[in-house]
Amino acid sequence: MPERADAARNRAKILAAAEELFTARGAAEVTMEDIARAAGVGRGTLYRRYPDRAAIAVALLDEHERRLQEVLLRGDPPLGPGAPPAERLAAFYAAMVELLERHAPLVLGAEVGHSRFTTGAYGFWRTHVRILAEAAGAADPDVLADVLLAPLAPELFLHQTSRGVSPERITAALRTLAARLL
């Protein structure tokens, strides 16, 4: 059965309020109660849908990530299939940096707790990179995939940019990483 009209309205209010708060203050500084109040909704209503902040951040990110995942699977090269692995990896890095740039607070919010590696998205990125590593004939692609994804950790991205490092420099460094390793 479909969602009731008022429920859908509240879901939208919650997501809008949460996105606003996350980007304004950073996910760590936002409580469930803040979100409920900002959305004009009771705490019970909030918990009915989202067990914690991470779930809300994941919901907010979902759309953006899905789009990138789609392109990786079926888009044009070099992001999509067709280009040599090293170039595809470099393109993937560039896309991820851009995603971090736009949604870093959300990505970080999605990792409340220790969720980073257990989230569905990480599994997807991991598989993608592992397949690239395999295609390039790398030794132990399974471990290499994690190593290649490590520099995309959102805390690192935030730390670098807060130190004044531009996203472009990060992308450039990752491009050489891709070129050297695959």
Which member of 15, 32, 172, 173 binds DNA (CB under 7 A)?
A: 32
CA–CA separation, 120 and 126 (whole Å): 10
Among its own copies, DNA, none, residue 32 binds (CB under 5-8 Å by kind): DNA
Beta strands in the chain (DSSP E): none
Which member of 43, 74, 159, 169 binds DNA (CB under 7 A)?
A: 43
Asked if 31 interacts with DNA (CB under 7 A), we say: yes
Give the range of 19-27, 48-56, 74-82, 122-130 binding DNA by CB under 7 A: 48-56
User: What is the residue whose two structure tokens read 């290649």?
Assistant: 148
What's the count of helices (H) and strands (E) in the chain, helices before strands? 9, 0
Using CB under 7 A as the criterion, what x/- string covers residues 103-122 for binding DNA?
A: --------------------
Helix (H, G, I), strand (E, B) or coil at 140: coil
Residue 75 DSSP code: S
Binding site for its own copies (CB under 8 A): 28, 114, 116-117, 139-140, 142-144, 146-147, 150-151, 153, 155-156, 159-160, 165, 169-170, 172-174, 176-177, 180-181
Among its own copies, DNA, none, residue 110 binds (CB under 5-8 Å by kind): none
Q: How far is the CB of 164 from its own copies (least distance, A)?
A: 10
Contact by Cβ (8 Å): 14, 46: yes
Contact by Cβ (8 Å): 158, 66: no
Nearer to its own copies, 2 or 164 (CB): 164
User: Distance of alpha carbon 98 from its chain centroid, rounded?
Assistant: 10
Q: How far apart are the first and last CA of the chain?
A: 49
Asked if 15 interacts with DNA (CB under 7 A), we say: no
